[in-house]
Amino acid sequence: MTLQLHTKDWLANLASSIQLCKKNMRDNQPWRCLCFGSALQITRTTPLRLTILQLRHNFLTEARTFIFTLRNFSS
């Protein structure tokens, strides 16, 4: 029962954040719309840095870097 309530809360939160983003599309920081919906975060500690990454952003960032690197080497 707790898991179901948590899932419903997460879905409701996601839906409300999407509606909020639709209303504020003229905002100066549209990237914030991507950050509100994801519940899973990763905290990575590196020397002199504490980075909190959301799982999707971490994957997409590394994928873009890898693709960009391949394109540079093939040229």
Average pLDDT of adjacent 10-residue blocks, the chain of 75 residues:
49 60 53 50 57 56 52 52
Domain ranges (residues) in the chain:
1-36, 40-75
pLDDT for res 5 = 43
pLDDT for res 3 = 42
pLDDT for res 1 = 37
Other CB atoms closer than 10 Å to residue 44's CB: what's the count?
Answer: 10
pLDDT for res 9 = 64
For the chain, how far is it from start to end, CA to CA, in angstroms? 55
d(CA 2, CA 23): 32
Those residues with Cβ within 8 angstroms of residue 55's Cβ, 6 or more apart along the chain or in another chain: 38, 40, 41, 42
d(CA 7, CA 52): 23
